A and B are shown apart, each in its own frame.
Chain A
Amino acid sequence: MANGTGQAPKPAGQSDSSSVVSGRNRYTSDRVLGGLCVALGVWYVLETRNFNLTTFGTGPVGPKTMPTIVGILFALLGVVLIFKADESPRWGTFAVWSRLGAVVATSFLFGQVLEPLGFIVASTLLAIIIGSFFRGPIVKLAPLSLAFAIAIAFIFNNWLGLRLPTGLWGGF
């Protein structure tokens, strides 16, 4: 492991400010989650009104029944959670959120550019970007990512007969 020894760092003024949760906010996270569950459950039940049934009839129990039961149950569990909330976890700092956000955004973007750019280019870029978030040295990261992408493309195209998008670069 690259950073094997650095597992217990104690930066001076450790960002405890983020982990200190004041008395009133101690349970906020679970309460927000509970609220979200209630909202999702209610929407889930209401959505059943949009199902287009055929005229064959549905038998004793139709396609709306289980969603209705399950949605109500989910909302009720959400209500229970609001009242029986656990203590909130320690949420990350801005540095954490920004990087997590960037990784998620990169992943979404990967899905969008995969077809136009082709697999080799897109996945090399994805690997370099994600790797650099994990503080990988770009000098090693770039060639490794490219080699890896080419190896995978080779296996998929030539052996598995699964077509990966070729895009700009072309394939094998």
Chain B
Amino acid sequence: MGWLLTSLNFVFAADFNLWDGFVAALTFENLILAVIGCLLGTLIGVLPGIGPITGVAILFPITLGLGLGDASTLILLASVYYGTQYGGSTTSILLNVPGEASSVVTTLDGYQMAKQGRAGPALAISAIGSFIAGIGAVIGLMLFGPPLAEITVQFQSPEKFMVVILAFATVSSLAGKSLIKGLLAVVFGVMLATVGADLQTGVVRYTFGELKLQEGLDFVIIAIGLFAVSEVLSLLEDKVLGEETAFVKAERIWVTFKEFMFSLGAIIRGGLVGFFIGLLPGTGASVAGFMSYGLERRFSDRDGTFGKGDIRGVAAPESANNAAAGGSLIPLFTLGIPGSGTTAVLLGILISMGIRPGSGNVFEDSPELIWTLIASMFIGNAILLLLNFPLVNVFVQILRIPTWFLMPVILVISYIGVYSVNNSSLDITIMTIFGVIGYFARKMDVPLAPILLGLILGDDLEQNFRRSLLADDGNYLTFLNGPLNIGLAIAVVVVLFLPQILDLIRGGRIKEEFADSSAEV
């Protein structure tokens, strides 16, 4: 416990501590910047394809142009970052358009909730969950940063390979009605992941001579095609057949206390999963969202409500995303290793401010900027939550736009968002093709989420497998070498079979509860 005291001491009692960070960050001008940042970020996040990385990368030179001080720049960018995350979730929930990779899972229950007239609570719990998990992750970062960084180093290619296997096991609950079709979907996703230049040898695979495919299929393009474009096609079919089911009119805008308490467990579990996944370089927020959703569904879904508009299905992945963002700062601050695209951009920004993360203890070397950054993250989270009271109200109005205009708007925004990032009309064609694939998959009960999971993890699966063997001269035992790997292997087994084991143990008790409740009725 000694280090905890040391941590607490340096958080609150060092020469320049968290308190001073807040003092530096909380000027009137900075608060205005934070509000603007959150609004801009939300708008960027709403545009599909343009995620946090692009948003921060594009806005950074503008902050140079404005001649903002370091503290102001950090506040603005932190607010933009949290805003984009939130904006991405908004379109996932309202329109089934995943604005970026990390909010794909949110569509599963969020969009169902919106259809049932519960868009308000879904948006609200996403903001609340993000806030709680985001703050929790920042606290975790402050208190446990250095010891956790040592864990990061323990995770090498064999361990990462096992984590990928664990992720696949965790989300096996996404399979849907037919196990075979769920498996087909995952394998199809892994096949999509092999398109492009191989990371080890540079060998070009499955590109049909198309140069643009050499860097692989873009996850967001596939996700928007599979979810949003196919949704437009399905809705058109319903319209033509006269079977259109209108969205239920939203009644409540905010979330009830009961709903909040119901989701609190999911938020905490999602936050923890996200935080630890965030620690591992190379994995990141999208995997964290999938894993937390999968775990939640596996262990909390007693009534089979997940996928049909369960608020916990929104709370868990949304919390995990934000916590992962916090967790990924630990290897960045302590080792100078950017674990994700966003932290790579942040690393660039910090370096340009004269901080070289990884050089000893950034908390000691440049306390002003680091504490200001952390205070900025608190402030960004808080402003975003406050902004949500009015914003949720506005966003829910989008659902009142008549279908005949909402559908074209969805298509135009999706196509142009995706186009503008790469300036490539091929992306529009790919998105349309996957829209058609998504339409047929829905008709035939092939689940869509596993395709995306395979696509996200396929590359990690293959590369970590090959790296492990390259580095260990072809020794397959490397995957069971060391306590971490064995622990992960046990976790895989537990995740796959624990529900059955729990059912066996609990069998008697659940029946009793049933008997009680039916007696009351």
Contact = CB atoms under 8 A, between A and B. Distances in A.
B408 A128 contact: yes
Interface in B429-456: 429, 431-432, 435-436, 439, 443-446
B420 A99 contact: no
Contact of A119 (B181, B203, B400, B416): B416
Contacts of A95: 240
Interface stretch (B85-93, B162-170, B187-195, B487-495): B187-195
Contacts of B465: 61, 66
B333 to A, nearest CB: 30
A9 B241 CA distance: 9
B184 interface: yes
A73 interface: yes
A81 B58 CA distance: 47
A110 B58 CA distance: 27
Contact of A60 (B233, B244, B425, B474): B474
Contact of A126 (B404, B405, B411): B411
B43 A155 contact: yes
The interface size bin for chain A is: 35 or more
Contacts of A58: 200-201
A34 B266 CA distance: 37
A11 B241 CA distance: 10
A77 B184 contact: yes
Contacts of A47: 205-206
Nearest to B467: A59
Most chain B C-beta atoms within 10 Å of own C-beta, residue among A65, A66, A132: A66
B203 A152 contact: no
Contacts of B243: 7-9
B420 A110 contact: no
Nearest to A107: B432
Interface string A126-144: 1110111111110011001
Contacts of A13: none
A169 interface: no
Contacts of A156: 416, 420
Given A52-B203, A60-B469, A80-B180, A30 B444 contact: yes
B277 interface: no
Contact of B420 (A6, A53, A148, A164): A164
Interface in A86-127: 86, 89, 91-93, 95-96, 99-100, 103-104, 107-108, 110-112, 114-115, 119, 123, 126-127
Nearest to B419: A114
A92 B237 contact: yes
A93 B242 CA distance: 12
B180 to A, nearest CB: 5
B253 interface: no
B416 A152 contact: yes
B428 A67 contact: no
A134 B184 contact: no
Contact of A59 (B403, B419, B470): B470
A22 interface: no
A93 to B, nearest CB: 7
Interface in B39-88: 43-44, 50, 58, 62
B466 A29 contact: no
A127 B412 contact: yes
A171 to B, nearest CB: 12
B202 interface: yes
Contacts of A6: 242, 244
A7 B245 contact: yes
A23 interface: no
A28 B490 CA distance: 41
Interface string B116-153: 00000000000000000000000000000000000000
A104 B432 contact: yes
A12 interface: no
Contacts of B350: none
Given A103-B232, A156-B420, A84 B237 contact: no
Interface in B402-427: 402-405, 407-409, 411-413, 415-416, 419-421, 423, 425-426
Given A59-B469, A66-B462, 19 more contacts: A6-B244, A29-B444, A53-B201, A63-B205, A70-B187, A77-B187, A81-B181, A81-B184, A103-B233, A104-B436, A107-B431, A126-B408, A127-B408, A127-B409, A130-B407, A130-B411, A162-B50, A162-B58, A163-B423
